[in-house]
């Protein structure tokens, strides 16, 4: 459902397997606490406000929510907030999670999961979300190297019906090719932002376009600030484009990202209702070829 003229549908649609989603989604990482994500000193978010942001997102046509069981603060879990806000999650809202990393109850990062530990991570996501299957599970890698055992373990869970579709996160082209020998891949999540790329990401953008697979950048707004989110300062060329369109610099970044190709989705994270609406509005912003060239 949409409200007024502001709608995520203005960004266009793409497919995650057999799931059609609007190209502007919502990242859940920033829903659980104040300040930077994973900052132990930051206090927990306001629960009612976080739930309201999720419900408002769906009202605005956001039907792609990115989450993980390791998105939590001292009193909040992103998955449980999603469960509370959306019930068992409507069929037209795709909830995408990821496995590989994990944190203990105090928030400390644990060693990367071994292949045999991935089922436990999948089941924890299922429990927290209150579901009997997960729409999409991304295997997040920890860097270069073979991923066949890990991806194979998830492919087995897909065969058992616990997972509908599989994706990859933080990968390189050779890992993508390795995974596709095992099972279909419906999306790739890599670091990709104006002025901030990582090895293999530009090539993965191209490959995904050729294969008609969703490319879903993370840190598309934050860039090098990562979990800290958008900063107060901005590159001069972004400020110039923002002034030309009468929008905020933060809105220029996802607009640039979306114009990298029709297969590109964005999942900006926020726990702020006003920022949510600005992010959704950015899906309707069209930059000129000259502006795209200026931004690089």
Active site residues: 71
Q: Where are the beta strands (DSSP E) in the chain?
A: 13-16, 19-22, 26-27, 64-66, 94-99, 134-140, 163-169, 187-189, 192-193, 196-197, 214-215
Alpha-carbon gap, residue 176 to 169, rounded angstroms: 10
Alpha-carbon gap, residue 109 to 269, rounded angstroms: 21
| Main-chain dihedrals φ then ψ at residue 225, nearest 5 degrees | -75, -15
Tokens of 156: 């087995």
For the chain, the residue count is 296
Q: Would you say 296 and 75 are in contact if contact means Cβ atoms under 8 Å apart?
A: no
Other Cβ atoms less than 10 A from the Cβ of 41: the count is 8
Tokens of 176: 């993508």
Give the DSSP letter string of 44-60.
BPPHHHHHHHHHHHHHT
| Main-chain dihedrals φ then ψ at residue 186, nearest 5 degrees | -100, -15
Give the DSSP letter string of 90-114.
-TTSEEEEEES--B-TTSPBPPPPP
Cβ within 8 Å of residue 57, ≥6 positions away: 26, 65, 276, 280
């Amino acid at each position: 459902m949409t409200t007024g003229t502001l709608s995520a549908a203005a960004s266009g649609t793409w497919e995650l397997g057999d799931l059609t989603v609007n190209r502007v989604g919502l990242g859940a990482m920033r829903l659980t606490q104040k300040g930077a994500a994973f900052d132990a000193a930051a206090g927990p978010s306001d629960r009612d406000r976080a739930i309201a942001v999720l419900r408002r997102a769906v009202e605005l046509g956001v039907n792609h929510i990115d989450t993980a069981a390791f998105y939590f603060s001292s009193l909040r879990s992103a998955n449980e907030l999603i469960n509370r806000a959306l019930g068992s999650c409507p069929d037209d809202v795709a909830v995408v999670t990821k496995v590989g990393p994990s944190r203990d109850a105090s928030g400390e990062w644990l060693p990367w999961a071994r292949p045999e530990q991935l089922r436990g991570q999948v089941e924890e996501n299922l429990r927290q979300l209150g579901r009997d299957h997960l729409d999409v599970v991304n295997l997040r890698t920890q860097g270069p190297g073979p991923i066949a055992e890990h991806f194979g373990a998830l492919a087995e869970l897909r065969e058992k019906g616990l997972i509908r579709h599989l994706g990859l996160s933080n990968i390189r082209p050779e890992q993508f090719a390795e995974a596709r020998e095992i099972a279909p891949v419906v999306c790739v999540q890599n670091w990709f932002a104006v002025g901030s790329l990582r090895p293999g990401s530009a090539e993965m953008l191209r490959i995904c376009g050729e294969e008609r697979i969703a490319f879903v950048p993370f840190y598309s707004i934050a860039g090098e600030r990562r979990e800290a989110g958008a900063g107060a300062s901005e590159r001069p060329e972004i400020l110039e484009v923002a002034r030309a369109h009468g929008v905020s610099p933060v809105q220029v970044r996802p607009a640039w990202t979306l114009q990298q190709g029709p297969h590109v989705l964005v999942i900006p994270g926020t726990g702020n209702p006003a920022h949510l609406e600005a992010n959704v509005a950015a899906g309707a912003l069209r930059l000129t070829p000259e502006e795209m060239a200026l931004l690089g």
